[in-house]
Amino acid sequence: MRPDCSARPLLVTRSYNQLRKGSKKNFLSSTQFVVDLLLEFLSGSDANQVHRQLFLKESKRSNIVMDPKLMNILTTIAESYNNADSSIGRRIILSIVAKQMDYNLISSVIPGLMRYRYTAARLYAEEY
């Protein structure tokens, strides 16, 4: 979860709903950066686990039982996805599990995963 610590402007807004589409994307990116940095500062090496538990919806928390073996597999997939050198490599890695697991579960271990990338990986898995 280590965020890029390069200098970047911090966007602040009083009305998110009044922002344009591109500005909303930039704002969400900045917010994600700040949240990731704060979680890493507060919880160190457990930042990913804290992030998952913090942002899972209450209804999802009660329905999902995380088997330690499944969690190890998902963590390994997330690490491989994050360490992939190209978008094609990430798509291939994601396609391994995208057909069997829903977006919410996968995005809980790969923070910032967009639904578009998940859908593209599912289509790739069906094609190959």
Which carries the bigger pLDDT value, residue 86 or residue 71? 86
CA separation, residue 46 to residues 42, 52, 94 (Å) = 9, 10, 23
Residue 59: what pLDDT? 43
pLDDT tens-digit readout, 46-79: 888 888 887 775 444 445 566 788 888 888 999 9
Residue 61: what pLDDT? 44
Average pLDDT over residues 96-115: 87
Of 78, 65, 72, 64, residue with least CA distance to 109: 78
Is the pLDDT confidence value at 86 over 50? yes
CA separation, residue 96 to residues 84, 108, 120 (Å) = 14, 16, 12
Residue 46: what pLDDT? 85
